[in-house]
Amino acid sequence: MGEEAALREAERRGIIVTDGMRIQLERYLEMILSQNARVNLTRILDPDEIWIKHFYDSWALAAVPDWNGAGRLVDVGSGAGFPGIPIKILYPDLEVVLLDSMGKRVEFLRYVIEALDLKGIRTARGRAEELARGLDYRESFDWVVSRAVADLSVLAEYCLPFASLGGWFAAYKGPDPRDEIVGAGFAIESLGGRLRHCYDCALPLGYGERNLVAIRKEERSPGEYPRKSGIPAKKPLRGH
């Protein structure tokens, strides 16, 4: 039921899922369930819920008008591969980097990439605060996405330094992120971003409300950001 609902709603939103893509998603789901006990990938173990709360939810990026399924994308705090892998499967021309700090999760992501024979996708192990300073990563992505559980002001400091000028940072949030958006205004502006829109992306079958916060990178991020590891979470950027 969850699979059919996810695919039906995706089609309604103009997202094309071929039979081959569907098979890849089914295999990916099987790998999540078989490896979850060892790696602790997700608390959601019901296949119907995985299709809706992980796969369909990942495709919310298609709500952004500038989205075209091309360019370079980095998934910050990828975990089990959400949203990066479900997006990559549906948009095979997209170049994707899955970033995570935990070795076992990165190992799982590599296993999925190899098992599904995905091309143009790789992993990076490390903290966002450190990798965002490297020449290979800083301001070099058209799309920066994150479903990580962190306040938007913290995510802005983690993610916006990865975005190229004119690129996008898309933060996956819960039912009502308005207060969080207001609180993150100073951080977003300080990192060179500008809030463009917040898209309501309700999940099928009454599985809950989601919002995608879309932030455009309009100025370069100052060199002092992101601050050293651990500081953004402990001392989020706030206005006076």
Could you tell me the CATH number of the domain that includes residue 95?
3.40.50.150
pLDDT single digits (tens) 158-210: 999 999 999 999 999 999 999 999 999 999 999 999 999 999 999 999 999 99
Kindly tell me the burial class for residue 79, based on how many C-beta atoms sit within 10 Å of its own C-beta (0-12, 13-18, 19 or more): buried
Q: Is residue 48 within 8 Å of residue 3, measured between CB atoms?
A: yes
Domain that holds residue 160: 2-234
Is residue 24 assigned to a domain? yes
Is residue 239 assigned to a domain? no
Compute the distance between CA of residue 221 and CA of residue 101 in angstroms, rounded to an integer.
22
Per-residue 3-state assignment (H helix, E strand, C coil) for 164-221: EEEEEEEEEECCCCHHHHHHCHHHHHHCCEEEEEEEECCCHHHCCCCEEEEEEECCCC
Compute the distance between CA of residue 3 and CA of residue 8 in angstroms, rounded to an integer.
8
Please give the tally of structural domains in the chain. Answer: 1
Is residue 109 assigned to a domain? yes
Is residue 145 assigned to a domain? yes
Is residue 114 assigned to a domain? yes
pLDDT computed for residue 104 by the predictor: 95
pLDDT computed for residue 240 by the predictor: 59
Is residue 71 assigned to a domain? yes
pLDDT computed for residue 53 by the predictor: 96
* pTM, entire model: 0.96
Q: Is residue 220 within 8 Å of residue 118, measured between CB atoms?
A: no
Please identify which residue in the block is written with the tokens 């050293």. Answer: 228
pLDDT (average), residues 9-37: 95
Average pLDDT, the chain: 95
pLDDT single digits (tens) 31-80: 999 999 889 899 999 999 999 999 999 999 999 999 999 999 999 999 99
Is residue 161 assigned to a domain? yes
**pLDDT band at 148; cut points 50, 70, 90:** confident
Cis ω for the linkage preceding 175 (within 30 of 0): no
Q: Which tokens hold the place of 23?
A: 């098979």
CA 232 to chain CA centroid, nearest Å: 19
Kindly tell me the burial class for residue 218, based on how many C-beta atoms sit within 10 Å of its own C-beta (0-12, 13-18, 19 or more): middle
Is residue 240 assigned to a domain? no
pLDDT (average), residues 203-224: 96
The strand order across the sheet containing 95-100 reads 121-125, 95-100, 72-76, 141-146, 163-173, 211-217, 193-200
